[in-house]
A and B are shown apart, each in its own frame.
Chain A
Amino acid sequence: MIKSLFLAGAVASLALAGSADAQLVTNKDLSVTMAVTIAQTAVETCKAQGYNVSAHVLGRAGEVLVAMRGDDTGPHTLENSMKKAWTARAQRAPSVNFANAVKQNPTIGALHLTNMVPAQGGLPIMVGMDVIGAVGVSGAPGGDKDEACAKAGIDKVAAMLK
């Protein structure tokens, strides 16, 4: 009886091992050069418009790939740019979507998670439908202006995001 139970277990394991989950996942990720280009382009684009901003580029797991403190920026902008990027990465959507969701529902659960911020200026970095990271910008007078600079950063490397 016991032996047959073991056998049944072994058969079940083999069945699982044979499924698609048993294969390693293959991911594409940002290189250091691309991440720096995105952040630097975002900072310089805003600077050209007269706005000093800080920027963060995060990777697939939300890890910091690049943190960039702009000249003469408020000390909070570095943190805020990270949180906007985190929000965009976590939700796989522009951080403004979360800002709008919080307007509708101020007690929305995700607002109480670490690093979430209901503020525009963070965009996911995509390869097709796959979110491989995010860029966040903070310091311009208005999240829409931050977001435009974040987009400029992504656009700069668009040809390589495939």
Chain B
Amino acid sequence: MSTSDFRIAAIALAGALTCAIGAGADAQLLTHKDLPVATATTMAMAAIDACKAQGYNVSAHVLGREGQVIVAIRNPAAGFATFENSMKKAYTARTTRAPSGKFAETVKGNPNAAQFFLTNFVAAQGALPITVGNDVIGAIGISGAPGGDKDEVCAKAGIDKVAAQLR
């Protein structure tokens, strides 16, 4: 087999492999559901209102599938660190696909948990993933209540408010 023959054969083989892969499920476009801004805003305000009703002023973030900000709400009556913190909690919940309180527990057990050193991770309770079935489509993070458990209750109130739409 000459060099050029070998090259042609290799190209043919590569082409066949590409076709084989092309025929696989990966060749289809991905289909997924995402949060509309109206739903995200309803969630964030429901969370802020739920905390307000309990006497806590909080800020809120709702992030989308890629961790992008869909709605960010600074509560001027809350501490100014709460705006950033609510984003980071939501980011942590989104990327770990779990309540941010779970990551906080992990860091307690292992203060050198590698993810702790990534940008926007925070070891603090108060954010929950937003799910459609088993698919995590975003996250909501709350900060400002005296205790992450109280922040999380308000985050859950936000999700519960639109639960009927999350399918």
Q: Give the B-binding residues of A (Cβ under 8 A).
A: 29-33, 35-36, 40, 43-44, 59, 63-71, 75, 78
Docked Cα-Cα span, A32 to B45, in Å, equals 9
B18 at the A/B interface (Cβ < 8 Å)?
no
Q: Are B69 and A67 in contact (CB under 8 A)?
A: yes
Q: Are B74 and A69 in contact (CB under 8 A)?
A: no
Q: Are A36 and B73 in contact (CB under 8 A)?
A: yes
Q: Are A32 and B70 in contact (CB under 8 A)?
A: no
Contacts of A44 in B (CB 8 A): 38
Please name 8 pairs of A and B residues whose Cβ atoms are closer than 8 Å in the assembled complex, sorted by A: A32-B75, A66-B71, A66-B72, A66-B73, A68-B72, A69-B70, A69-B71, A71-B36
B1 at the A/B interface (Cβ < 8 Å)?
no
Instruction: Tell me the minimal C-beta distance from A21 to chain B in angstroms.
Output: 25
Select which of A29, A33, A63, A68 is within 8 A of B71 by beta carbon: A68
Interface of A is mostly: mixed
Interface of B is mostly: mixed
Q: Which residues of chain B from 74 to 121 have a CB within 8 Å of any chain A CB?
A: 74-77, 80, 83
Contacts of A40 in B (CB 8 A): 38, 41
Q: Are B74 and A65 in contact (CB under 8 A)?
A: yes
Contacts of B69 in A (CB 8 A): 67, 69, 78
Instruction: Tell me the minimal C-beta distance from B119 to chain A in angstroms.
Output: 18
Closest 4 CB pairs of A and B: A67-B72, A32-B75, A69-B70, A65-B74
Docked Cα-Cα span, A8 to B41, in Å, equals 60
Task: Please judge, given known A-B contacts A32-B48, A64-B83, whether A70 and B37 are in contact too, CB under 8 Å.
Answer: yes
Closest to A32 in B: B75
Docked Cα-Cα span, A26 to B35, in Å, equals 40
Q: A32, A44, A59 — which one has the most chain B CB atoms within 10 A of its CB?
A: A32
Select which of B45, B64, B68, B72 is within 8 A of A64 by beta carbon: B72
Contacts of A65 in B (CB 8 A): 73-74, 76
Contacts of A75 in B (CB 8 A): 68
Task: Please judge, given known A-B contacts A32-B48, A71-B36, A78-B69, whether A63 and B41 are in contact too, CB under 8 Å.
Answer: no
Q: A29-B76, A63-B74, A63-B80 are in contact. List 14 more A-B contacts (CB 8 A).
A: A31-B76, A31-B77, A32-B77, A33-B45, A36-B41, A36-B73, A40-B38, A40-B41, A64-B83, A65-B74, A67-B71, A67-B72, A75-B68, A78-B69
Closest to A66 in B: B73
Contacts of B75 in A (CB 8 A): 32
Docked Cα-Cα span, A71 to B37, in Å, equals 6
